[in-house]
Structure 1
Amino acid sequence: MPLNNNDIFKKLRVAHKLRDDDIIKILTLVEFNVTKSELNAFFRNETHPKYMEVGDQILRNFLNGLIVHLRGPMPPKKKD
């Protein structure tokens, strides 16, 4: 059974010991806003009526924000 975006998001959350507030801050690092209720819907069981699928854009922005969170922002490129 292949992993979907929700499974990947959940595994990253557990692996990095992130709470809801941490995930919201990480997403704001890449200027992507998500509410706490939307975030909770991503982590619900698939059979729950309020379940929402994590789209590619949300996962991509979270991964980019996680990079900034762990490494820091990229330094500006030098122009020759």
Structure 2
Amino acid sequence: MSNNDIFKKLRVALQLRDDEIVAILKLVDFNISKAELGAFFRSEDHPNYKPCGDQILRNFLNGLVIHLRGPRPEKPRSEKKVDK
């Protein structure tokens, strides 16, 4: 199964539109246009088909986590105690 297939299946399963996917990718500072995104969802024999790279899928998954769960909360810094 290719990255394009995984991306398509996630898009359908989560009922995401192109503009929502672009917004999810922006959450991780990854900018992509709707035209570039559409090339990933075309069939392999289409002249404008583009294979989805690992970086794009990884950034989408990281953005999806932020989209669904919210941003990661800051961990409180614990002060180290020094025994005298």
Short-chain TM bin: over 0.9
Q: What aligned pairs does 1:44-59 form with structure 2 within 5 A after superposition?
A: 44-59=42-57
Note the C-alpha offset of 1:63. 0.2
Q: Supply the RMSD in Å over aligned alpha carbons.
A: 0.4
CA distance in 2, matches of 1:9, 1:26: 13
CA distance in 1, matches of 2:20, 2:2: 22
CA distance in 1, matches of 2:76, 2:7: 35
CA distance in 2, matches of 1:48, 1:65: 28
- Is 1:15 aligned to residue 17 of structure 2? no
Aligned residues, how many? Answer: 78
Amino acid of the residue matched to residue 52 of structure 1? K
TM-score (norm 1): 0.96
Q: Is there any run of 5+ residues in structure 2 with no aligned partner, and where?
A: 79-84
Note the C-alpha offset of 1:5. 0.1
Q: Match of 2:58?
A: 60
Amino acid of the residue matched to residue 35 of structure 2? S
TM-superposition CA deviations, 1:16-59 (whole Å, max 9, x none):
00000000000000000001110000000100111001000000
Q: Is there any run of 5+ residues in structure 1 with no aligned partner, and where?
A: none
Percent identity over the alignment?
67
Q: Match of 2:39?
A: 41
